[in-house]
Amino acid sequence: MGFRKLLLLLCFILSGTAHAAPVILVFGDSLSAGYGLAAHQAWPDLLQQRLSASQQKWRVVNASISGETTAGGLTRLPAALAQYRPAIVILALGANDGLRGLPLNSMQTNLDAMITLIRKSGARTLLVGVRLPSNYGISYTVKFQQTFVTLSQRHHIALVPSLLAGIETRSELFQTDGLHPVASAESAVMENVWRELLPLLTAANRKH
């Protein structure tokens, strides 16, 4: 390969890298991983479709894992941030901590540490909460929900109060386990995220 061709190739590669679409990293558990659904049916994929339809140059990377707790998320977050270098992280963990009755102080500490790591990486955070079933007791469920509010206020970050808002009481919109939405409900889940994500997208687009 001649020098001129090599130079042109290098310029093409660098140009492609410089103009690569900024990444939105979805970092959650089975509610975001699309448990029981085809990949294209899960709300993160629907989010990518919404962005593409509106001609917004963002790439959604879904790094969610079924069964993930905040402790597991904290362990693997640094590598995910280094690999994908996201501009925005949708942090949607905590549900499994609550369902397993894990200490809420530990959950808050883990989420707090992840938000700090995200900020240090230069990315913005959209924190996503979820509500627990009422059979976990009023005291625990209220404290669980308040954890997300407390963190959003402490770090001055956007919050989706409940990922499943609007469908939580409709059993027909859940799979047989009663925990995971069916495919037809994923658009409503995506809309819950979209409402709080849009201002972050607008701010990031102005910045770039």
| 171: annotated active-site residue | no
Checking DSSP bridges between strand 88-92 and strand 158-160, what pairing results, if any?
A: unpaired
User: Angle at which helices 43-53 and 186-207 pack, to 10 degrees?
Assistant: 50
Choosing from 30, 32, 64, 121, the catalytic residue is 30
The count of other CB atoms within 10 Å of the CB of residue 200 is: 18
The whole-angstrom separation of Cα 180 and Cα 186 is 10
Please provide the DSSP assignment of 141-198 as one string.
HHHHHHHHHHHHHHHT-EEES-TTTTTTT-GGGB-TTSSSB-GGGHHHHHHHHHHHHH
Please give the Cα distance from 111 to 94 (Å, whole number).
8
Annotated active-site residue in 29, 121, 152, 180: 180
177 catalytic residue (yes or no): yes
Q: Which residue is catalytic, options 19, 139, 177, 208?
A: 177
Residue whose structure tokens are 């808002």: 165
Say whether 134 is catalytic.
no
Catalytic residues: 30, 177, 180
